[in-house]
Amino acid sequence: MTNGNTVSRRALGLGAAAALAASGAAHAQAPQFFRIGTGSAGGTYYPIGGILANAISCPPGAPCNTAGATDGVPGMVAVAQATQGSVQNVNLVQSGNAESGFTQSDVLHWSYTGTGLFEGRPKLERLRFLAHLFPEHIHAVVRKDSAIQNFTDLRGKRIAIGLQASGARIGSELILEANGMRAGRDYNAEYLNQAQGTERMQDRGLDATFTVVGYPAAAFTEFCSRTGCRILPIQGAEAQKVMERAPFYGTGVIPRTAYEGLTADVPTLTVGALWVVRDSVPEATVYAITKALWSETTRGLLDRGHAKGKEIVKEGALTGRGVVPFHPGAERYYREAGILR
C-alpha cells in the first residue's frame, strides 16, 4: 500500500512537472504582437507598413537572423493595421490601442505639443520618435479631360480632401485655405480616401481628389492609367503661405514618370512620413525593431517591395523629429550606429 502510494505520488509529481514544463514551453513560445497603424488602401502607408511588419517579425519557431531568414525580433508578430491615417494613428498610439504608427511630421509636432491644428486639445505626450521613413507629396488630382487648370477653377467644385482623421485632410485644407477657399463656403468637401475619391472622379461624381501621400500611390496609378489624370501644381505665393503656417512643409516635385500620362514634372509640397512608438513599449523591443528596420535584409525587402521603399534610407532616419523625444530603444541604436552623437 505504501509502495503503491509512493508510486502514485511519484507519477503525479512527474505529471505535474511535465505539465509545468509544457506550460513553460508554451509560455516561452507565446508570440509578441506589435501593431503598426498605417493608412487606407490605395495609399502608401499601408503597403509600406506591410513590408516593415514582415521585416521586423520573427514568429515563435521561425529562424531569425540567419542566412535566408528575417532579421526580425525573435518571437514578434507585427501587424500592419489599416486606419484613416496620421491623426487616427497618433491617437491610437497615445491611447495604447496601437504600439506604433505612421504619421506626418506636422501632425506629430502639433499633436505632441497641443499646438497648431491641435490647439486646445490634450497633448499626446506618450508619443516617441522611432524613425523618419520617406517624404510625402501633396497630390491635387483631376481628370485629364477636366476643365480645371488651377486652384481658382476649384471654387464651387466637389473635392475629396481625405478621411476625417487623416493627415491628408489637414494638408488638403492648408493648401485650399492658402488659395482663399474654405470647406462649405467655397467648395464642397467630401471626406474620402484616395481610392474612394478616384472612383468617384471616374464616375464624374467628384471634380478633384486631394491627399498627402508618397508617390506612386496605388489609387492614382490605377486612375491615371485607366481614366487619365493631371496634377495641379502648387508653387509660388500659395506654397509659401502653407510653409509659413506649417514650416514642416517643403518644396518638392512629383516626376512625370510617377504616373502614366503626366507630360511634365509637377511642383508641389512635401512633408515627412515618420514612424512613432508608444513610450510604454520596452526599450529592448524598440532597440531590436530599429536594428531590424535598418538591416540589410530589410533593405532588400524595401527595395523590392514598393517604389517608395527605396527612399527609406538610414541617412535620413532622424529627419523631421522636431521636439518629440526619441524612444530610448531607438536612441540607443542610433548612438551605437554612430548616426546620433
Quick one: pLDDT band at residue 6, thresholds 50, 70, 90?
A: very low
pLDDT of the residue at 8: 38
Give, as one character, the DSSP assignment of residue 167. Answer: H
Domain coordinates in residue numbering, the chain: 32-134+273-336, 136-271
d(CA 320, CA 129): 10
Could you tell me the pTM of the whole model?
Answer: 0.80
pLDDT digits over 64-117, tens only? 877 767 789 999 999 999 999 999 999 999 999 999 999 999 999 999 999 987
User: Which whole number is the average pLDDT over 245-256?
Assistant: 89
- The CATH homologous superfamily for domain 32-134+273-336 is Periplasmic binding protein-like II (3.40.190.10)
d(CA 101, CA 36): 5
% of the chain with per-residue pLDDT over 70: 91
Closest CA to 299 of 317, 279, 287: 317
pLDDT of the residue at 28: 52
Same topology between domain 32-134+273-336 and domain 136-271? yes
pLDDT of the residue at 19: 38
Quick one: pLDDT band at residue 22, thresholds 50, 70, 90?
A: very low
Fold of 136-271: D-Maltodextrin-Binding Protein; domain 2 (3.40.190)
- Distance of alpha carbon 88 from its chain centroid, rounded? 11
Half-sphere exposure of residue 99: CA atoms within 13 angstroms, side-chain side: 18
Whether 209 and 201 have beta carbons less than 8 Å apart is answered as yes
Q: Is 65 left (phi over 0), alpha (psi -120 to 50) or beta?
A: left
Is the model's pLDDT at 55 over the cut of 90? yes
Whether 207 and 159 have beta carbons less than 8 Å apart is answered as yes
Is the model's pLDDT at 16 over the cut of 90? no
d(CA 83, CA 92): 10
